[in-house]
């Protein structure tokens, strides 16, 4: 009820207030602000991931413009000698408008990034995009060794998707999945989503993948570390990945224990529309933000 009320009033929240709420999670509107945040994190011992906020572009020109912004951001990261890579939503590069164009734009970005020593991550969005995203990723894998994918443990299909990926080096960010999906195709309760996450982690470790455990769920992280040990995976085979502003005490604990912790740094002029869309699609995020703002600690 409270979620619904807050969501309904979101468009009327004054920009400066929204900006203040978002500032903890978003580096800013400009590339310079994101670079400054990455540099600050690097000084504190955290490598980064750079994300330009945006999705579901309206036309091919907007997709091309997004790809150009990413290429520019990647070049700036390389110039600044930061340990960071770029992470791109397929619908930001026009996946649902024209799959060929999307593949072409990812290929151009991956080529540029390969020249300057950066990785590119193909993110995973909601289920109507899963098949096309996996097709684009598989096509990219044929020509590039600097491209990784995101897989979502929430989706029932994911273990089969892992098995269906062609053999060869594989770089996966494993997430629970931020999009609330129907129960016919997804786990909907927290524990089955966690159990599926562990199953996927195990399968990926067995097939030799490099893994980013992208979670702030410390219990789940412990279970993943048991899998890492059982697979006898070297420390460079996995890392933790976290969102800017979320559970920093956990990052420090993991870093102090010797694990790599990479921080996801989103930025861009579209931050307001993007934040509102995300909150509307998954009110759980709003609950997390509200608990944080009120100093109530993590929800279980």
Tell me: does residue 292 bind ligand FAD (CB under 6 A). yes
Half-sphere exposure of 223 (CA within 13 A, CB side): 16
Among 203, 216, 223, 253, binds ligand FAD (CB under 6 A): 216
Q: Do the beta carbons of residue 52 and residue 26 sit within 8 Å?
A: no
Among 176, 187, 210, 272, binds ligand FAD (CB under 6 A): 176
Q: How far apart (Å, rounded) are the C-alpha atoms in residues 10 and 223?
A: 37
Among 198, 243, 279, 290, binds ligand FAD (CB under 6 A): 243
Tell me: does residue 247 bind ligand FAD (CB under 6 A). yes
Among 97, 178, 195, 252, binds ligand FAD (CB under 6 A): 178
Instruction: Kindly tell me which of 79 and 299 has the beta carbon lying closer to ligand FAD.
Output: 299
Q: How far apart (Å, rounded) are the C-alpha atoms in residues 117 and 188?
A: 39
Instruction: Kindly tell me which of 25 and 167 has the beta carbon lying closer to ligand FAD.
Output: 25
Helix (H) or strand (E) holding 204: helix 190-206
Q: How far apart (Å, rounded) are the C-alpha atoms in residues 125 and 104?
A: 19
22 contacts: CB under 8 Å, gap ≥ 6:
271, 272, 275
Catalogue the E-assigned strands of 22-160: 48-52, 84-88, 120-122, 147-152
Smallest separation (angstroms) from ligand FAD to the CB of 52: 13
Tell me: does residue 288 bind ligand FAD (CB under 6 A). yes
Smallest separation (angstroms) from ligand FAD to the CB of 274: 13
Smallest separation (angstroms) from ligand FAD to the CB of 213: 9
For strands 84-88 and 120-122, give the pairing.
parallel
The site for ligand FAD (CB under 6 A) is made up of 123-124, 150, 152, 173, 175-179, 214-217, 241-243, 246-247, 264, 285, 288-289, 292, 298-299
């Amino acid at each position: 009820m409270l979620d619904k009320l807050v969501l309904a009033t979101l468009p009327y929240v004054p920009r400066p207030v929204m900006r203040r709420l978002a500032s903890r999670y978003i580096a800013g509107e400009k590339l310079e602000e994101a670079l400054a945040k990455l540099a600050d994190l690097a000084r504190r011992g955290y490598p980064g991931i750079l994300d330009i906020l945006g999705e579901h572009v309206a036309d091919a020109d907007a997709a091309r413009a997004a790809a150009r912004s990413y290429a520019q951001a990647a070049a700036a990261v390389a110039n600044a000698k930061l340990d960071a890579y770029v992470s791109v939503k397929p619908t930001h590069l026009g996946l649902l408008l024209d799959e060929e164009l999307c593949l072409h734009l990812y290929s151009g970005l991956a080529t540029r990034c390969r020249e300057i020593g950066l990785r590119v991550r193909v993110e995973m969005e909601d289920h109507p995009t899963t098949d096309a995203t996996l097709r684009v990723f598989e096509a990219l894998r044929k020509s590039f060794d600097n491209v990784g994918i995101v897989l979502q443990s929430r989706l029932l299909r994911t273990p089969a998707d892992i098995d269906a990926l062609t053999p060869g080096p594989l770089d996966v960010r494993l997430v629970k999945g931020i999009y609330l999906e129907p129960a016919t195709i997804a786990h909907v309760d927290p524990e089955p989503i966690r159990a599926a996450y562990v199953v996927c982690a195990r399968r990926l470790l067995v097939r030799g993948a490099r893994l980013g455990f992208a979670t702030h769920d410390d219990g789940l992280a412990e279970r993943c570390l048991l899998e890492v040990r059982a697979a006898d995976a070297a420390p460079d085979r996995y890392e933790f990945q976290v969102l800017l502003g979320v559970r920093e005490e956990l990052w420090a604990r993991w870093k102090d224990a010797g694990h790599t912790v990479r921080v996801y740094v989103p930025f861009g002029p579209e931050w307001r529309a993007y934040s509102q869309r995300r909150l509307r699609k998954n009110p759980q995020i709003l609950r997390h933000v509200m608990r944080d703002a009120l100093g109530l600690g993590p929800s279980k």
